[in-house]
A and B are shown apart, each in its own frame.
Chain A
Amino acid sequence: RKEVEQDPGPFNVPEGATVAFNCTYSNSASQSFFWYRQDCRKEPKLLMSVYSSGNEDGRFTAQLNRASQYISLLIRDSKLSDSATYLCVVNDRTYKYIFGTGTRLKVLA
């Protein structure tokens, strides 16, 4: 089993739609969780950290479920500019960051 698993997609959604991605992790000692966005042929950039109580940043909401060992990302009112690959990243407070392979999102006009 991979340490961090994501559905690769692509998720093709119309503009204005709501879309959600999940990411599961296997290490119960994981402490920090992140969603990064990666555009084609570009470097990953932090979208948001995922806190235990869940957190929201504009149209983006992140949730953590420690019991089931998954994190989620919800995007409301999708924009064309949201088209990208979304990487789930997990850290156990050491040097080690484990990256998922990413979920590809295409927002269609």
Chain B
Amino acid sequence: NAGVTQTPKFQVLKTGQSMTLQCAQDMNHNSMYWYRQDPGMGLRLIYYSASEGTTDKGEVPNGYNVSRLNKREFSLRLESAAPSQTSVYFCASRGSGTSSYNEQFFGPGTRLTVL
């Protein structure tokens, strides 16, 4: 049981290049999220997916697209990377129970630098 996995762990891009960050979870969770974390700021939501086949914008969606490929996988794509997208990206999933205390589980993160 690996939990939430992300690839790659590190990436350096040049301005204008594109790339896809991969995320997968093996906990049978319905909800998945993509966040970015910048120094001095809390985690900010980029996109989320409440269930397979649905995606919605979060707080900072500009410059990103997502795909919920199936229940396990949720990818984040940067079509034309910009230096402002230099950040640490975390994928998370949330339990599907009826409890209001469904915690989020996070992947190990992708450290992206855009030159």
- A residues with a Cβ closer than 8 A to B are 4, 8, 31-32, 34, 41-46, 49, 51, 87, 89, 91, 93, 95-102
Beta-carbon contact of B42 and A43 below 8 Å: no
Contact B109 A43 (CB under 8 A): yes
Name the segment of B65-73, B74-82, B100-108 touching the other chain: B100-108
Judging by beta carbons under 8 Å apart, are A99 and B101 in contact? Answer: no
Docked Cα-Cα span, A44 to B104, in Å, equals 9
Judge whether B109 and A101 touch: CB under 8 Å.
Answer: no
Can you sample 19 A-B contacts with CB below 8 Å?
A: A8-B40, A31-B100, A41-B88, A41-B111, A42-B109, A43-B107, A43-B109, A44-B90, A45-B106, A49-B103, A95-B50, A97-B33, A97-B45, A98-B42, A99-B42, A99-B43, A99-B44, A100-B42, A101-B41
Q: Which chain A residues border B109 with CB–CB below 8 Å?
A: 41-43
Binding site for A on B (CB under 8 A): 31, 33, 35, 40-45, 48, 50, 56, 88, 90, 100-109, 111
| Contacts A4-B42, A45-B106, A101-B40 given; does A95 touch B48 at CB 8 Å | yes
CB distance from A27 to the nearest CB of B (A): 14
Give the residues in chain B near A87, CB-CB below 8 Å. Answer: 42-43
In the complex where A43-B106, A43-B109 touch, is A49 in contact with B101 (Cβ < 8 A)?
Answer: yes
Give, as a whole number of angstroms, the nearest-CB distance from B30 to chain A: 11
Q: Are A32 and B48 in contact, with the CB atoms below 8 A?
A: no
What residue of chain A has the Cβ atom nearest to residue B39's Cβ? A101
**A95-B56, A99-B43 are known contacts. Are A43 and B103 too (CB-CB below 8 A)?**
no
Chain B, Cβ-Cβ closest to A102? B42
User: With the chains together, A100 CA to B90 CA distance in Å?
Assistant: 16
Give which listed residue, A32, A44, A101, A102, contacts B106 with CB less than 8 A. A44
